[in-house]
Chain A
């Protein structure tokens, strides 16, 4: 599982302040912390930066490159900022992101091809995000992958992102993202790479519940064939779940249940309730979260309490 570290994000007040003040030290410390925690790519979200994006992106790229040679993901809608960042990247970079907006799709793909960058391609059209897996797969097949091919990008360099929606608003379609990942992996040989913005699933949920929702969802999308996630690489419980799945560690009752969920999703089956030891609160919460993500019980902020 490739983790694209999401912590350098303009929405975080310290990041916003550091970018405004061109405070490289703060950004560098955040980058290093994510690298140490295992991030394979560092995402640099500078926001749209309509006026100064072409200055901000090269500045932040160079600041981070001073302390690490981990590849960087240039996360902005500002095309000029993307290109200015690519010019100073020492390693092949990633562009975050392209969508099926005809006004921009080809130019972002061509930019990626010119600089040998990978691209996160969102299954979102000008009319928004389709709620069904079929609708998202349709955008990938009809718009995103053809545009990448036309630009000469290898299909593995396209990171298809189904756009995970928050479970507290769109509970009935949470599983559609999981199924979309499964469909993406069957679209070509070799297949495109898959990615999710993982924490979107728990957006709006109480902060203390978010990590469990995130890592339970992660096991499910991994079961469907997920290759990478834009996520917090410093979330240790999440990293532990990834390790359990990747090593198929069935050494504890909890890790056995995690592997069972992964296997169930991979086999397109339901997780058997009999696999849960109801005397173990950790297993019970994990199972409740799974059932909630499957839309089998209605989400409420206190869903774990009942």
Chain B
């Protein structure tokens, strides 16, 4: 048998290390999460360094979600009613960090105040020791209001604040800058816009070691391949030395996978689709695995079983790295 020499690619660029959770001191987190640092494509440890394993976040919402898949409602049960309990259970299920959504501050879903939002964030911080991602309600005005208040009240916790988009990045970046937090920069599945937003954020003097990039995720069957291409191109550019694309990437896997029919429909589907519980987790895990291969550094998930499956998969994939 002839020995085959595996070609080895050497890259000149490095993805930035980004750390969430009290690494500068002053916060109350008992653990930190560092992602990034890659000098090779995902899991190709024979080509370069993969110093940090991708992190698994679990999504927690500050109000009981009315529109979630029956499978998620069944598995989380009453924990969905209390973000602090929900977060504590997510950590027990294996979450490296919590992604808290302040949805009840949205004008259409309760319009709760910035003060309420601060109280919720405090309760979740008290319930868990892992780092926190905090998402505003998703409307520019209210995001500015709520995230600024939360950022000020949690100085030192080194949260990741989202979403920082082209239309509101100034306020969010300023809030992060003054209070030692990070931002999640989201652009609509577009390489050029992703790079541009990083440039704009960097122009405001927020160190890029405090920026995560969210390329905007499509689920399996719903645009996943577009996300994959965009992430792959961003990561290749990062490794080739393009300084404005060298941010770790975060993907909101659960939100996308569980809102599709495959993650929701228990009845009136072909028999070949199988049971919802298994199918929904498979949908979330397949979406996640695909984007891990495209360079995802943080996966935001919804189902505890997905956390377990992905943790095992990452154990395997990171062997030797």
Q: Are A306 and B196 touching (Cβ within 8 A)?
A: no
B191 at the interface (CB under 8 A from A): yes
A300 at the interface (CB under 8 A from B): yes
Q: Are B237 and A302 touching (Cβ within 8 A)?
A: no
A297 to B238, CA, bound (A): 10
B194-234: which have CB < 8 Å to A?
195-196, 199-200, 203, 233-234
A12-36: which have CB < 8 Å to B?
none
When C-beta atoms are compared, the residue in chain B nearest to A204 turns out to be B192
A171: B residues at CB distance < 8 A: 192
B153-196: which have CB < 8 Å to A?
191-193, 195-196
A299 at the interface (CB under 8 A from B): yes
A248-306: which have CB < 8 Å to B?
297-302, 305-306
When C-beta atoms are compared, the residue in chain A nearest to B197 turns out to be A300
When C-beta atoms are compared, the residue in chain A nearest to B198 turns out to be A300
Q: Are A306 and B237 touching (Cβ within 8 A)?
A: no
Q: Are A297 and B203 touching (Cβ within 8 A)?
A: no
B245 at the interface (CB under 8 A from A): yes
Known: A171-B192, A306-B243, A306-B244. A298 touches B199 (CB 8 A): no
CB distance from A289 to the nearest CB of B (A): 15
Known: A168-B192, A171-B192, A306-B244. A300 touches B233 (CB 8 A): no
Q: Are A297 and B242 touching (Cβ within 8 A)?
A: yes
When C-beta atoms are compared, the residue in chain A nearest to B243 turns out to be A306
Q: Are A298 and B203 touching (Cβ within 8 A)?
A: no
Known: A306-B243, A306-B244. A300 touches B203 (CB 8 A): no
Size class of the contact patch on chain A: 10 to 19
A-contact bits for B230-260, CB 8 A (1 contact / 0 none): 0001100100001111000000000000000
B233 partner, pick from A298, A301, A305, A306, beta carbons under 8 A: A298
A29 to B237, CA, bound (A): 48
When C-beta atoms are compared, the residue in chain A nearest to B234 turns out to be A298
Q: Are B242 and A298 touching (Cβ within 8 A)?
A: yes
A301: B residues at CB distance < 8 A: 192, 196
B193: A residues at CB distance < 8 A: 300
Q: Are B237 and A300 touching (Cβ within 8 A)?
A: no
Q: Are A300 and B196 touching (Cβ within 8 A)?
A: yes
Per DSSP, chain A at the interface is loop
CB distance from A203 to the nearest CB of B (A): 13
When C-beta atoms are compared, the residue in chain B nearest to A302 turns out to be B199
Q: Are B237 and A298 touching (Cβ within 8 A)?
A: yes
Residue from A298, A305, A306 having most chain B Cβ neighbours under 10 A:
A298
B234: A residues at CB distance < 8 A: 298
CB distance from B185 to the nearest CB of A (A): 13
A168: B residues at CB distance < 8 A: 192
Per DSSP, chain B at the interface is helix
Q: Are B199 and A306 touching (Cβ within 8 A)?
A: yes
CB distance from B38 to the nearest CB of A (A): 18
B237: A residues at CB distance < 8 A: 297-298
A-contact bits for B265-291, CB 8 A (1 contact / 0 none): 000000000000000000000000000
CB distance from A299 to the nearest CB of B (A): 5
A302 to B192, CA, bound (A): 10
B243: A residues at CB distance < 8 A: 306
B200: A residues at CB distance < 8 A: 302
A299: B residues at CB distance < 8 A: 192, 195
A297 to B234, CA, bound (A): 10
B-contact bits for A154-194, CB 8 A (1 contact / 0 none): 00000000000000100100000000000000000000000
A297 to B192, CA, bound (A): 10
A280 to B192, CA, bound (A): 26
CB distance from A271 to the nearest CB of B (A): 18
CB distance from B188 to the nearest CB of A (A): 14
Q: Are A302 and B196 touching (Cβ within 8 A)?
A: yes
CB distance from B237 to the nearest CB of A (A): 5
A306: B residues at CB distance < 8 A: 199, 243-244
A187-238: which have CB < 8 Å to B?
none
CB distance from B99 to the nearest CB of A (A): 27
A301 to B195, CA, bound (A): 9
Residue from B195, B233, B237 having most chain A Cβ neighbours under 10 A:
B195
CB distance from B148 to the nearest CB of A (A): 25
When C-beta atoms are compared, the residue in chain B nearest to A172 turns out to be B233
A298: B residues at CB distance < 8 A: 191-192, 195, 233-234, 237, 242, 244-245
Known: A168-B192, A171-B192, A297-B237. A305 touches B245 (CB 8 A): no
A272 to B195, CA, bound (A): 26
CB distance from A292 to the nearest CB of B (A): 10
A300 to B185, CA, bound (A): 15
A298 to B230, CA, bound (A): 11
When C-beta atoms are compared, the residue in chain B nearest to A169 turns out to be B192
- The 10 A-B residue pairs with the shortest CB-CB distance, nearest first, are A300-B196, A300-B195, A302-B199, A298-B237, A299-B192, A301-B196, A298-B195, A300-B192, A306-B244, A297-B242
- Chain A: residues with CB nearer than 8 A to chain B? 168, 171, 297-302, 305-306
Give 23 CB contacts A-B under 8 Å. A168-B192, A297-B237, A297-B242, A298-B195, A298-B233, A298-B234, A298-B237, A298-B242, A298-B245, A299-B195, A300-B192, A300-B193, A300-B195, A300-B199, A300-B244, A301-B196, A302-B196, A302-B199, A302-B200, A302-B203, A305-B203, A306-B199, A306-B244
Q: Given known contacts A302-B199, A302-B203, A306-B244, what 12 new A-B pairs fall within 8 Å (CB)?
A: A298-B192, A298-B195, A298-B242, A298-B245, A300-B193, A300-B195, A300-B196, A300-B199, A300-B244, A301-B196, A305-B199, A306-B243
